[in-house]
Chain A
Amino acid sequence: MKRRRFVALTLLALPARVFGQANAHVSTTDPLVFSLTRGKPVHAGRVRLELPKVAESGHSVALMVRVDSSMTAAEHVRAVHLISERNPVREMASFWLGPHSGRAEIGSRIRLNGSQRMVAIAELSDGSFWSDAVDIEVHEAACTDGG
């Protein structure tokens, strides 16, 4: 019991950097995030995830992701990943773009299994990762009750 407490306290005392956590909304050690980033740091910024603050129903919620990029051959977005915190399938979608996209902007409609945090991670052509997170309140969850 004592040792367990000691281990817990030691872990708490370690700086967040030890775990490779670069920003508050993405854990790079999350296996799903790790599978996308191969453990590289994920910076907050450059990505804008747009979702309503509140959704009456989680069956179909409009979503938009924009990444600040010139979308040229030298500097462009390679991929955008959407991750749900609480859905039974957390990996919602991945989109692959390139200089031929012209603009790094993607829209879709998603299902949400209750109030949660949504994360968008963008991979840029220089190999860096950027992210944004949005908290959304869902009054009627999707997924488990049909639809």
Chain B
Amino acid sequence: MPPEARRGEPVEVRILIQHPMETGFRRDGAGARVPRNAIHSFVCRYNGAEVFRATLSTGIAANPALRFFIRAAQTGDLEFWWLDDENIEGAAKARLVVT
């Protein structure tokens, strides 16, 4: 996303998360089923308030990419949080300067 934006302007956010998004249908080399493990929840908070939420499934490609918009309000942090089927959380943060 751009580091700076004008107040009221929609800002494009792009995030790429490294994750296999394991479908649960795949078999490993020994023929055993690889259990499903996908990121199922994704939340974006802007200055502490939730501004975007997604529930994902195995229909989203490995290393999920998301692109969405946030309206620039005031300078602050965008915090990203996600959770997968193994209950492993991930997080990322980005600063948006609003002029």
Contacts and interface: CB of A to CB of B under 8 A. Distances in A.
Interface size range on A against B: 35 or more
B26 A102 contact: no
Interface size range on B against A: 20 to 34
Given A101-B52, A102-B11, A91 B71 contact: no
A107 B66 contact: yes
A93 B66 CA distance: 11
A100 interface: yes
B71 A93 contact: no
A94 B71 CA distance: 20
Interface string A55-70: 0000111001000000
B26 A94 contact: no
5 contacts: A100-B49, A101-B51, A102-B72, A105-B67, A106-B66
Interface of B: 8-11, 21, 23, 25-27, 46, 49, 51-62, 64-73
